Amino acid sequence: MRQKPLANLRVLDLTRLLPGPLATQHLADYGAEVIKVEDTGAGDYARTMGAMNGDTSFFYQVCNRGKKSVRLDLKQAEGRELFLRLVDTADVVVEGFRPGVMDKLGLGYDALAARKPQIVVCSISGYGQTGPYALRAGHDINYIGYAGVLDQIGTAGGAPAMSNLQIGDLLGGTMTALFGLLAAVLDARASGQGRHVDVAMTDAALAHAIFPLAEVLAHGGVKPRGEDLLTGGVPCYGVYETADGRHMAVGSLEEKFWHLVCDTLGRPDLKPAHLATGAAGARARAELAAIFRSRTQAEWTVIFDGIDCCVTPILRLEESLENPQLRARGMVTEVEGVRQFGPPVRLSGFEPGPFTPAPQAGADSDAVLTALGLDDAAIARLRASGVI
């Protein structure tokens, strides 16, 4: 059998909470060896955030499977030396501290690259390693606010709407970091020289705001929230309430799909309103809204399941976990009794899993340090002095 795609990649993960840990979990899912390096105090405080499942949170468990964990005090010289010895064996270091923290520890990119030129260091931060905001605190809502993304989310006349899918954290801090560090690893293996990968979540959110940018280029500014092509400004693309207070997603942007929708609803007279805006668009949207409120979501789902026109139910997540399409794609898995999302990319000749659960803090310290050449006495001494 072929090796897992990332079987020869060793990653040291210094990150906490969501963006970095999920990025390194993706790497582990595809075969990378990920060693989670936590401090000797609280460690990754995602462990105790939100609903608990035993002694760790569900949040921590679904972002850290497949990893090993060691606990090192990087503020002590011996802890830093152990980390440097781990760097000697690694391909990638991923960190999510504020800019400058790694340098203060003596573990910044320049120091690591001087010791191992091939090392790739990926730094994930809100605003990047440079610029006037570099040292500011922030969260997803702040990053997408600066990027002009939050302004575009919501309904006409309403305030910006907050998404429970963290666009900046996940598009920026998780997926962009994966792209950047894997590009740097490929280059390092070809050239022998690593890189510092500087990932700013704000940058990544901005770089993907394609439709708002097109509006700015064409008209000098974005359309008001709720009035653009993809935010409810036209009848053929929007959210419509059903009789039971649920909703249907109508995404019939192409004319052929819109015509099918109109025929299915028995309203061929609405076909000319496909991309109507202004008063004509508002009238057509109101007509459509009244029609969808006449049946339940389940009834509309049965009707449109057999018609290929981009009209689908808006599911709650607990329903998504039972959806036959998502289950057929392996997007729902179970790790020691905890339902989790499967890896999102399918590769030929590779079947994801089996998955090991998220590690207890320091669960692999002895094994990892023994592999570095430390004997039992040395490990006991380091533990007694609080280095590990």
* SS3 (DSSP) at 237: strand
Pick from 71, 66, 83: which is nearest to 32 by CA? 66
Query: Of the listed 39, 139, 198, 366, which one is catalytic?
Result: 139
Given phi > 0 = left and psi -120 to 50 = alpha, else beta, which region is 232?
A: left
Pick from 43, 31, 33: which is nearest to 4 by CA? 31
DSSP 57-105: EHHHHTT-TTEEEEE--TTSHHHHHHHHHHHHH-SEEEE-SPTTHHHHT
Q: Reply yes or no on whether 308 is catalytic.
A: no
Q: Reply yes or no on whether 375 is catalytic.
A: no
Q: One-letter amino acid identity for 314?
A: I
Residue linked to tokens 């993907």: 208
CA distance 17 to 76: 24
Peptide bond into 354 cis (omega under 30): yes
Q: Would you tell me how many other CB atoms lie within 10 Å of the CB of residue 46?
A: 21
Buried b (16+ CB within 10 A) or exposed e, 82-120: bbeebbeebbbbbbbbebebbeebebbbebbbeebebbb
Please write down the HEC assignment for all residues of 300-348. Answer: HHHHHHCCCCCEEECCCHHHHCCCHHHHHCCCEEEECCEEEECCCCCCC
* SS3 (DSSP) at 238: strand
Q: One-letter amino acid identity for 95?
A: E
Query: Of the listed 73, 140, 169, 203, which one is catalytic?
Result: 169
Active site residues: 139, 169
